[in-house]
Amino acid sequence: MKRFLFALALAAGLPLAAQAANFNQVQNDKSAIAFTYQQMGVKVDGKFRKFAAKLNFDPAKPADANATFDVDLASVDAGAPEADDEVAGKPWFNTKAFPTAQFVSTGVKAVGANRYDVTGKLTIKGKTQEIVVPATFNAQGTTGVFDGSFTLRRGDFAIGEGTWAKFDIVANDVLVKFRITATYGK
Amino acid sequence: MTIHYTRTAKSLHWLMAVLLIGLLALGFYMQDLPLSPEKLKLYSWHKWAGVTAFLLVVIRLSWRIANRPPALPESMPRLMQWAAHAGHFALYALMIAIPLSGWLMSSAKGFQTVWFGVLPIPDLLDKNRELGELLAGVHKALNLLFVAVLLGHVGAALKHHFIDKDDILARMLPKH
């Protein structure tokens, strides 16, 4: 009987052990960081062509997860060539002085089936704010996909200074969306 | 006795005259401005006014089809009558084609047209940089052509009034 129970526990435990996996190999070609902003009621889509993402995520232990994003701000596609040049400039990202935006997670909390709140510090243009980013995680075999979005208030980071500082033409709220695909490694 | 255009036709004519001259001036002025909040505002206004002009020309054409304009005077030579009809046809064709080209250009450039910032006009085209540049060229060329036809239109009206001394211009003016 003891042996039987042991075998049962083993059998029950094995699939769990097999599922436990650390998704930490980010697939850059299947990942994206994009955003949508509003210009006098017109939604304009943009994205960042270059960024580096590092993450460790074990669905069995979400609290131990961590993520770091480094976004090359000069790689911005703000919707038009003219806008790309403008946004790299001093009033906006000032990429010469602040080439990178960084997000470093400080905690991950499971809030439902495949849903997580990722808390972390977002630094843009020398200003740091704590934000909470809701994300979903869906795994298919050895590949996991994180999807999420959050609203960034550009005014909080002085993105768009001087004549751009008012929000009547370019709105304060910018919706940032991301999709990070990672496979699991050791 | 002068047979006038209808009051509705006159109102639409002069309303659109003011609107289209404003749109032309704004369009040529704003294109070379450096990027600024002011420029974005002017572009939005231009697009809102363009959609408005398109709606007005649709109303105006419907009215014209339902209410035939007064006939040209018998004194006009056949060739001149034909030229007058061709000129008016070109004006209407351009008043329809120009806002359409502007709308398609905006879509191809990735900036949807949202009328008065409230009513989104669907994008017929997906964002495509090359197509956007091409349509910008088309929009500009059509407008240059429009300016040329418009100058002919104004010139012809003044010639009728001051040289031919007929009632062609008077029938589009308010009745005394």
The reported pLDDT for the residue numbered A1 is 56
What is the mean predicted confidence (pLDDT) over A64-75?
A: 96
Q: Say whether B37 and A163 touch across the interface (CB within 8 A).
A: yes
**Least trusted range by pLDDT, from A12-21, A28-37, A156-165, B141-150:** A12-21
Find, among A83, A81, A41, the residue nearest to B36 by Cα: A83
**At residue A170, does pLDDT exceed 50?**
yes
Q: What is the pLDDT of residues B61-75, one digit of tens each?
A: 999 999 999 999 998
A151-160 long-range contacts (CB < 8 A, ≥24 apart) are A151/A175, A151/A176, A152/A35, A152/A122, A152/A176, A154/A37, A156/A127, A156/A129, A157/A124, A157/A125, A157/A127, A157/A129, A158/A125, A158/A127, A159/A92, A159/A93, A159/A124, A159/A125, A160/A91, A160/A92
Q: Structural domains in chain A?
A: 22-185 (2.40.128.110)
> For residues B74 and B97, what is the distance between their CA atoms, to the nearest angstrom?
32
A40 closest CB neighbour out of B35, B40, B129: B40
Q: What is the pLDDT of residues A24-66, one digit of tens each?
A: 999 999 999 999 999 999 999 999 999 999 999 999 999 999 9
Q: Say whether B41 and A82 touch across the interface (CB within 8 A).
A: no
Query: Across chain A, what does the average pLDDT equal?
Result: 90
Which pair of structure tokens corresponds to residue A124? 């843009």
ipTM of the complex: 0.84
**At residue B86, does pLDDT exceed 80?**
yes
pTM: 0.87
Chain A residue with Cα closest to B41: A169
Chain A residue with Cα closest to B112: A42
The reported pLDDT for the residue numbered A185 is 79
Q: Structural domains in chain B?
A: 7-172 (1.20.950.20)
Q: Which residues contact A19 (CB under 8 A, 6 or more apart)?
A: A59, A60
**At residue A14, does pLDDT exceed 50?**
no
Residue A17 — pLDDT band, cuts 50, 70, 90? very low
Residues of B contacting chain A (CB within 8 angstroms): 35-38, 40-41, 44, 109-114, 116-118, 129
The reported pLDDT for the residue numbered A18 is 47
